[in-house]
Amino acid sequence: MIVDNNKTLQGIVINPGVYKGKAYVAGPDNDRPFDKGDILVIPHSNPKYSLMLLDAGALVCESGAVMAHICIVAGEIGIPCMTQVNDATKAIKDGSYIEVHADQGEVLVVG
């Protein structure tokens, strides 16, 4: 019997693109260093995460407006970016492998 543990989350596309990699779920309990190429998963739009975008492979924002500062910066840098991805910080575990398919407005949680 094959069990499919993948989860697909939906959101609003800010900047299209596809990126696959390790998730970094930002929050007060995460003391793991942010590694270059990690996918930054944030609970809400906040400019304090902007510098992390320079090393991020993609951005997944749980809540935030399309014109939020961090979403604009992600678009200017040219990384795949999505917002309004409900429960992203709960459904995605820090360090897990995810795929951001911003072209289709989906985040696939692989493991």
Distance CA 25, CA 15 (A): 20
Identified catalytic residue from 69, 72, 77, 99: 69
Whether 44 sits among the annotated catalytic residues: the reply is no
55-79 core/surface letters (b: 16 or more CB in 10 A; e: else): ebbbbbbbebeeebebbbbbbeeeb
Active-site amino acid positions: 69
